[in-house]
Amino acid sequence: MKFSILPLVFVLLNLNPIFAQQPTASEVLEKAIAYHDPNGNWANFNQTFQVTMTTPNNADRVSDITINLPEAYFSLTATRDRLETTFTIDKGTCTTSITDSIAQKGARTPCETAALYKNYYTYLYGLPMKLKDPGANLSPKVEKVRFKDKDYLKLKVTYDETVGSDVWFFYFNPTTYAMEVYQFFKGDPNGKGKDTGEYILLSEETTVQGIKMPKIREWYYNKDDKYLGTDTITK
């Protein structure tokens, strides 16, 4: 009996997209890093940039930030309503314009605040590269989700207890692998942490030392979508 294999080949070729292998979480992250930091510049990052924070019913806060990773140096000069404060950490040594005597009683010490700012800006402006740091635990599952009327590849990251307790999610453009949203919960998002934390919408891009950074970051509560403020790279 004679038969042709051509129809079978045609069917298999057309079914192929259905069986196409979805990228793993590690592959998505690598593609995202390749998009944002194509030349691997983050490890030697040494730049000063300016971020303007706009919040409802408050004056803008303008922050000049220096991150020098090779020299373990960080500085922040923040100005709001003509009041200027500075925080510097140079190889672990802290100096600030705020003295312990004028710090609010029971609040963080000025140098604790300096460390907080250093970790905050180095982490958020080093994403997604910072997701490769020791203590970051990438879930192997990649979720295809729709968030704010857009399709994304969603990754989950938790941290060792010594690093942090928040649960983070990162949303990547499924075509370019650009990071367009990140989100965190203070605990299990399906349990006690459900109504905690915030999500941040990222838009536009600016290039700093060859790294594509989101230029605009809009912050909202997870619980009720309440708008909190916007951080914009202005220089």
Segment among 25-34, 176-185, 186-195, 222-231 with least mean pLDDT: 186-195
Residue-wise pLDDT tens digits, 166-202: 999 999 999 999 999 999 999 899 999 999 999 999 9
Q: Are residues 85 and 115 in the same domain?
A: yes
Tell me the residue range of the domain where 143 lies. 23-40+133-235
72 and 109 in a common domain: yes
214 in any annotated domain: yes
Chosen domain end from 125, 146, 176: 125
Number of Cβ within a 10 Å radius of residue 67? 22
Q: Is 146 helix (H, G, I), strand (E, B) or coil?
A: strand
Domain identity same for 80 and 36: no
Residues 137 and 170 in one domain: yes
pLDDT confidence of residue 159 = 95
pLDDT of 18 higher than 60: no
Q: Give the number of domains in the chain.
A: 2
What region, left, alpha or beta, does residue 135 occupy, with left being phi > 0 and alpha being psi -120 to 50 degrees? left
Contact at 8 Å (CB) between 226 and 56?
no
Give the pLDDT confidence score for residue 45 in this predicted structure: 98
Do 120 and 145 sit in the same domain of this protein?
Answer: no
What are the distances in angstroms from CA 91 to CA 2, 73, 95, 126, 206?
79, 6, 11, 19, 28
∠ CA 155-137-147, nearest 5°, is 15
Residue where one domain finishes, among candidates 97, 125, 153: 125
DSSP string, 154-202: EEEEEE-TTT---EEEEEE-TTT--EEEEEEESS-TTTTTTT--EEEEE
How many Å apart are CA 149 and CA 131, to the nearest integer? 26
Stated pTM of the model? 0.87
Same-domain status, 211 and 107: no
Q: Which two tokens stand for residue 185?
A: 């919960």
Same domain, 108 and 140: no
- Is residue 228 pLDDT above 70, yes or no? yes
